[in-house]
Structure 1
Amino acid sequence: MTGPLRAKAGELTADEIIGAMREGRRVVVETEMLGAVHEITLRHDGTTFYCDTPTTLHKHATEAEMRTCIEKMGYGRTE
């Protein structure tokens, strides 16, 4: 089993993040929030996309919704 893909916020594109998730990998993104560094875990269970932050678990029903979240929150860079 392949371990999680780790990256800093903005290091990977949304396509790279979603591609890894579609392959069954978790993507751990290191980001700064409120003056502290946190890890956000992004994953896909085959049906639902998840964005697990230190404060909440967001669920997205479609790839388009997940892409919007990745771009809006700055987890991935836009091209």
Structure 2
Amino acid sequence: MSNPLRVSAGELEIDDIMSAIEEGRRVVITTTAARTEYDVTLRYDGSVYYCDTPTRLHRHESEGEMRSCIRKMGYGAVAEDT
């Protein structure tokens, strides 16, 4: 397994996060909730996308669901229209 890609929430665009996990890398996102910093690991096993948080394992059956989760939770930056 390759080294995980470690970033802060909002540091990478959603497309970049998706590319990394679809290439087989784990993406570890450092984020803050209720003034507590924690890591979330995003990964893909070839058929299911996962968001591993300190309290839950979220499963997403499609790329669209995973993108929605990343956007909703603020893990990735949204590309600006040019």
TM-score by length of 1: 0.97
Over the residues paired in the alignment, what is the CA RMSD in angstroms? Answer: 0.7
CA distance in 1 between counterparts of 2:34 and 2:50 reads 22
CA distance in 2 between counterparts of 1:33 and 1:50 reads 19
TM-score by length of 2: 0.94
Stretches of structure 1 that go unaligned for 5 or more consecutive residues are: none
Stretches of structure 2 that go unaligned for 5 or more consecutive residues are: none
Q: What's the CA shift string for 1:5-59, capped at 9, x where partnerless? A: 0000000011000100010000000000111100000000000000011110000
Q: Which residue of 2 aligns with 1:48?
A: 48
Task: State the percentage of identical aligned residues.
Answer: 54
Q: Which residue of 2 aligns with 1:3?
A: 3
Q: Which residue of 1 aligns with 2:34?
A: 34
Which amino acid in the other structure matches residue 68 of structure 1? S
Query: What is the deviation of 1:2?
Result: 2.1
Q: Which residue of 2 aligns with 1:21?
A: 21
Q: List structure 1 runs of 4+ shifted beyond 4 angstroms.
A: none
Tell me which structure has the larger Cα radius of gyration. Answer: 2
Question: Aligned pairs, how many?
Answer: 79
